[in-house]
Amino acid sequence: MTTHDTVASLTPAEMAERTGVSIDTLRYYEREGLINHVARADSGHRRYSADDVLWVEVLRCLRETGMTIEQLRHYCELGEQGEQTRPERLQLLLDHRARVERQMADLRDALALIDHKIGFYSDQLDESEAS
């Protein structure tokens, strides 16, 4: 889900609903240094911004496509270091993209095998029904 609307200030529950990650995951991401500089209300409770929403969506995408927490942490650390790390961040994403491409190819091969087996069983059922 990509969020382009204006988000003034989201509570952790609203953030979890908006991004599709649990409150526990949000806390975990903060502990691991993947989400930094989260604003606080006067009460001390976390308040997430539109930028935080977009960042969590990036983290979620990278996690769902197999990037490890260690790799995410490294990516975030590089981002914190500034513009001079752009080439390294780009390379990290290019490497991850290549892994995702390989995963997709493996899944296409697996799907073809599944389709073959479905065809095999469908043909056998058709033959037994015809008999």
Structure confidence by residue, pLDDT tens digits, 15-42: 999 999 999 999 999 999 999 889 998 8
**Three-class DSSP category at 82:** coil
* Cα separation, 3 vs 57, whole angstroms: 9
Q: How confident is the model at residue 126 (pLDDT cuts 50, 70, 90)?
A: confident
Helix (H) or strand (E) holding 120: helix 86-130
Q: What share of the chain is helix, strand, coil (3-state, %, to 5)?
A: 70, 5, 25
Could you give the percent of the chain with pLDDT greater than 90? 82
pLDDT of residue 7: 58
CA 21 to chain centre: 10
Query: Phi, psi at residue 14, to the nearest 5°?
Result: -65, -40
CA 45 to chain centre: 25
> What's the whole-number mean pLDDT along residues 125-129?
83
Specify whether the CB–CB gap between 48 and 39 falls below 8 A: yes
> What's the whole-number mean pLDDT along residues 92-116?
98
Task: Examine the pLDDT at 2 and tell me if it is beyond 70.
Answer: no
63: tokens are: 């996690």
How many CA atoms lie within 13 Å of 64's alpha carbon, on the beta-carbon side? 8
DSSP state of 48: B
Cβ-in-10-Å burial (0-12, 13-18, 19+) of 37 comes to exposed
